[in-house]
A = this chain, B = another copy of it.
Amino acid sequence: MSDSATPFHSIDATTGATVGDPIAVHGLADVESACAAAEGAFDTYRATSREDRAAFLDRIGEEIIALGDVLIETAMRESGLPRARLEGERGRTVGQLKLFATVLRDGAYLDLRIDPALPDRQPLPRPDLRLRKVPVGPVAVFGASNFPLAFSTAGGDTASALAAGCPVVVKGHPAHPHTGALVAGAIARAVEASGLPAGVFGHLVGPGNDLGAALVRDPRIQAVGFTGSRGGGLALLNLAQAREVPIPVYAEMSSINPVVLLPHALAARGAALGTAFVGSLTMGAGQFCTNPGLLLAIEGEGLDAFVEAARTALTDAPAATMLTQGIHAAYSRGAEALAGHNAVETIARGKVGEGVAQGQANFFATTADAFLADAALGHEVFGASSLLVRCRDEVEVMAVLRAAEGQLTATLHMDEADMDFAAKLVPLLERKAGRILANGWPTGVEVAHAMVHGGPFPATSDGRTTSVGSMAIDRFVRPVSYQNLAPVLLPEDLRDGATGAPRLLDGQRA
């Protein structure tokens, strides 16, 4: 089971107490055997039909539901997140699996193209050319601390990689080892019930970085999915690029999700926006990748009303249990650095908690000049902390946005009368973010076809893809062209007369 590493424990996030027996740490020999099994299973797994893989994904969902309430209770204990949130997250996890089953049954992700032979073309004949996307090979997925179900063992990256036909080796997050083990067991039961090789899914757990590093270095791993810190993501990216054969890393790392409060919206409903903002900021102890960490607004009465309402709401906001003591410590350091920054004003701080790892909400403000002068003010503080940049005019708002790093989201709160300013902002935001939203809050990421949960560096390491929504399957495929191959050698989807998946036939959709 393990090499020499010291066992660790599941921790009750609320009390800080250890729970249950020590957990054996996987070692390098386990990485080796998981990767060997994944590689060994790949040819069998990718040869399955799309319908068989769809049924397998549906079965995983059923096995997760069949775990019953013990899954919710375990995740509550290990994450400190409330029941309703985790029940919703379980629904989201199962929903993602179902979505990718739909994607498989549809088949459009294969991007099938057929250019039939033109034997009489002058000066040279055209060969028969047929294209499809194929799975890249075994994929390493790193579980995230902040979504113990939807971005972890059976989360989005696992679902999209399995859908594509890639075996998956998960490095479970050590903040929720019992939750991860339950879900891994559910997947293993689905693998067996579906008659698939066991190597289709592997699960490794351990508290340090060595395990994940060994996984990314393993030559059999062909792509990496990660959601976590900027430092963690960049470390994996560097490892992947230093391999003899570099591989893609899809790391979602860092985003402060700018929210622009436009003048007419602020004038019309500054106070209501301020209250709603605190609701979004403090949800889930602020532990969302899309948490609104940066606000931009032009000075005026509307902004004053916003700030006043936010101050009131935030001052009353209870402290909330954070995922781990380590995350709480990092959050507190980040918030104190802002509180002590000589160009930063503290608007309000929430209630102080009494237990371990209780995160206190924070709302700060600064000027555009100060923000532009110190890049550190643009770095993520993971948790319920946000910084308002007070701007003199539209020009300053745009200068701050231009200086901001790549983001997962950018939000406009606007009224009809703000349209001209908004029209200037949208082209700028398209270059900065993967999702642009109006009159809402960035927390809450719909699992849909048209969702992009991605964005320019450092929001992610690869802004060409998304980690949420059906387009995520594009991460784990690459195109192959077949020229003049006998029909029996072609994949079924590319044979003449195959029905089902859409195809581009001689440039025409069919």
Which of B248, B427, B444, B446 is in CB contact (< 8 Å) with A43?
B427
- Smallest CB separation, A304 vs chain B (Å): 27
Q: Which residues from chain B contact A464 at a C-beta distance below 8 Å?
A: 248, 477-479
Q: A115-149: which residues lie under 8 A (CB-CB) from chain B?
A: 115, 123-124, 126-127, 129-131, 134, 136-137
User: Interface residues of A, CB < 8 Å — how many?
Assistant: 77
Contact (Cβ within 8 A) B113 A246: no
Q: Which residues from chain B contact A444 at a C-beta distance below 8 Å?
A: 124
Q: Which residues from chain B contact A485 at a C-beta distance below 8 Å?
A: 426, 436-438
Q: Is A108 an interface position by the 8 A CB rule? A: yes
Q: Is A232 an interface position by the 8 A CB rule? A: no
Q: Is A49 an interface position by the 8 A CB rule? A: no
Residue of A108, A405, A438 with most chain B CB atoms under a 10 A cut-off: A438
Contact (Cβ within 8 A) A451 B137: no
Q: How many copies does the complex hold?
A: 2
- What 1/0 mask marks residues of chain A from 239 to 258 whose CB sits below 8 Å from any chain B CB? 00100011010000000000
Given contacts A43-B427, A482-B436, A485-B436, contact A446 B115 (CB under 8 A): yes
Contact (Cβ within 8 A) A446 B248: no
Q: Is A484 an interface position by the 8 A CB rule? A: yes
Contact (Cβ within 8 A) B126 A483: no
Q: Is A373 an interface position by the 8 A CB rule? A: no
Q: Which residues from chain B contact A507 at a C-beta distance below 8 Å?
A: 102, 106, 449
- Smallest CB separation, A489 vs chain B (Å): 5
- What 1/0 mask marks residues of chain A from 157 to 182 whose CB sits below 8 Å from any chain B CB? 00000000000000000000000000
Q: A366-396: which residues lie under 8 A (CB-CB) from chain B?
A: none
Contact (Cβ within 8 A) B450 A131: yes
- Smallest CB separation, A18 vs chain B (Å): 35
A-B pairs with beta carbons under 8 Å apart, 28 shown: A46-B427, A108-B504, A113-B471, A115-B451, A126-B446, A126-B448, A127-B440, A129-B448, A131-B450, A131-B452, A245-B405, A246-B457, A248-B464, A423-B489, A434-B478, A437-B483, A438-B485, A438-B489, A439-B484, A440-B483, A440-B484, A449-B504, A450-B481, A452-B479, A456-B478, A464-B478, A464-B479, A502-B509
